[in-house]
Structure formats: C-alpha cells, structure tokens
Structure 1
C-alpha cells in the first residue's frame, strides 16, 4: 500500500464531503455575511460534523494521512476547528492530532491551529498566534501567551511569520468565494457582534 492510497477511502470520502458541504458557509461566516438564522443553522451543522468526527476519533484515533489521505485529514482538521461550542471535544482532537503530527501522520501546523483554537475557546491565550477576530476596527489577533517568543514557536510548528499570515488572511477575506484548502491562517468562527 502506498501513501497515496489511504487505508479507509470510505472514511476519506465522508470527511471530505462533510467539510466541502460546510466550506461555503465558513467562508461567508468569516466575512460576517450570515444572518442569525444561517449562523444558527451553521452551528447545528458544525455540531453534527463534530459529533461524527468524535465517533471517528473514538474508533480510529486521529484520521491522519495513512488512514484517510492528506485531503481527508485536512477536512477532519477543518471540522475540529469549527467545533467552537465544544471546547472539550476540541481539546481531545488537538491532543490526538498532536500525537499524529509527532508520528509524521499529520502536519504540525494543523495541530498548532487547533491547539490555539481550543485554548481561545477555553478562555486562555493562544500559543502560536493563528486565531483572529474580526472587529469593527478590523482584524485583531486573539490574546497570545508570551508574544516575545511567538516567532520561535511559529517557526517550530512550520508556520509562516505572523506578519505574513495576517497579510494572507486579509487578502483571503477581501476575495469573494470559499477559502483555499491550503490556507494556514484560520479566522475564529465566532464573528458576529465581535467587539
């Protein structure tokens, strides 16, 4: 079996389909283009996706490259990132993703994003500076632990500089349509009414 042939192509197709169905909504939500009804429907869809991913984690561990292939592993990461109303699930997913990254079965930068997201959603400062909020004054990084060592932590996780990442995020938000699947910077989903 080669790396290009995942062990569970059925699971790969399912994860990709779940993420693909939500991608246009995530893009519109990042641009603050959804009304309250669509935000509620989106939260329901994100909860259902996270519930399915939770079952996969219980049965298979993190669905990494060997199990589902790179595209489906990326889809699983996106699903976990958008489970903002489930911080316990995000912490569990981050822990399993970290283990997969240490074993070379997932990108370390994906773990950095999910770890930051779970910290922010638990009321703690992020480690890698990957999470932003859209405010009336523009994009703002969520609080960061020890900003003086941020550059070293980002380099260690395979992330571009914070300046480069912020520039890419601004560019993405100014371009209509779904996000690129290889985007490294993720906007925190809870945007509506952000101060």
Structure 2
C-alpha cells in the first residue's frame, strides 16, 4: 500500500466528510439522543452517502483504495459501505470490489472481512469472520457464524484477534459510548 498523495483528494474529502457525519449520528443513536424524525433523517443521509459511494465505484470501476483516495478516505468508504444496511445488494457488490482492492494491495484485508460479514448477515446468511455483533436487550452477542469451531483460525487469516478479544473490545467501546439506559437492537461491527 502506498503513502503518497492520493490521485483524487477531492473524492477523499467528500468520503471523509460523509463518514464523519454518519459516525456522529450513530454515536447519538447509541446514546438514544435522536427522536424518530432525526432517525429517519439519518437513514436518509446514510442512503445518500451510499449513493455517492455507488457513483464513485461506477465512475472508477474499482474500490476507492489507498492509491485513489488515501488510507483515511479508503476507511471512510469502507464505513459508508458497512453502514448501508438497507442496501444489502450494494453491500455485496462493494465487498466484491473491496476484495479486488485487497488482492491488489490497495486496502486492508480486515476491512473486507468486516464488509463481507455484514453483507452476509444482511442477506440472511451466517457470517464467516465473526466481525458482526448485535446489541439487544440481553447485551452484546455475536451474530450467527458459519463453522464456529474454526472461527479464530479464519479471523487470524485476515489479521483479526480471537473472537473473545473482539467481543470484549466491542463491549468496552459500547460502554464508553452509551452510558446507562436502554438501547434498541443495533447491528454492530467489531473494531477494524
């Protein structure tokens, strides 16, 4: 992966801005700080962000990786795709392009693992790498995983820590974001 100036700094700025706004809304949602109208506006904004990313993918016929937009914006693109939960077909297509970018050495494999898992979950399948968690009334739990006995080996193959370590990180991150109070069921990704 490269650390030189990205080819498209304009796209980098756009992606980073969209992802930062989305992250701020998600943090407010986890703290139960949004009313129904604001929740709807957030979903609309996430859809609009996915539309921007879809346009970038179509215009460049590739994932906006480190060479095109730089590492920070590539992470922003990943976050936008990851949180496009209402568009599972888009997530699946984005995961295919992200995998190609990983194979070309232009994006981190752990980003692909998270997006691949999210696309599987949102398309009704068990996840492969154990990166997706649910926050429900009973706390945080791992979404269903295919072949759980070999999960940690698959996680290691993409540079992820054991599932138990990831679960503890997610619990710690959520505790620092939420404080006390009930939260609706929310799909969460482990730390990347």
- TM norm structure 1: 0.87
The equivalent residue for 1:66 is 67
**2:166 aligned partner:** 165
| Paired residue secondary structure (1:132) | strand
Q: In structure 1, how many angstroms separate the alpha carbons of the residues matched to 2:43 and 2:187? A: 10
2:182 is matched with none
Q: Encode CA deviations 1:62-96: one digit per residue, 9 max, x unaligned.
A: 00001100000000000001100001100000000
Aligned to 2:102: 101
Structure 1 residues 82 and 37: CA distance shift in structure 2, 3 A: same
**Deviation, structure 1 residue 23:** 1.2
Distance 1:145 1:120 in 2: 11
Equivalent residue for 2:37?
Answer: 37
**Which runs of no fewer than 5 residues in structure 1 stay unpaired?**
178-187
Residues 13 and 98 of structure 1, relative CA distance in 2, 3 Å threshold: same
- Give 1:84's aligned residue: 85
Structure 2 portions without partners, runs of 5+: 179-184
Cα distance per residue 1:17-38 (max 9 Å; x no partner): 1111111111233455533222
1:41-190 maps to which residues of 2 (within 5 A)?
41-60=41-60, 61-176=62-177, 189-190=186-187
Partner residue, 2:8: 8
Distance of 1:134 and 1:39 partners within structure 2:
17
Runs of 4+ in 1 over 4 A off after TM superposition: 188-191
Work out the number of aligned pairs and report it. Answer: 180
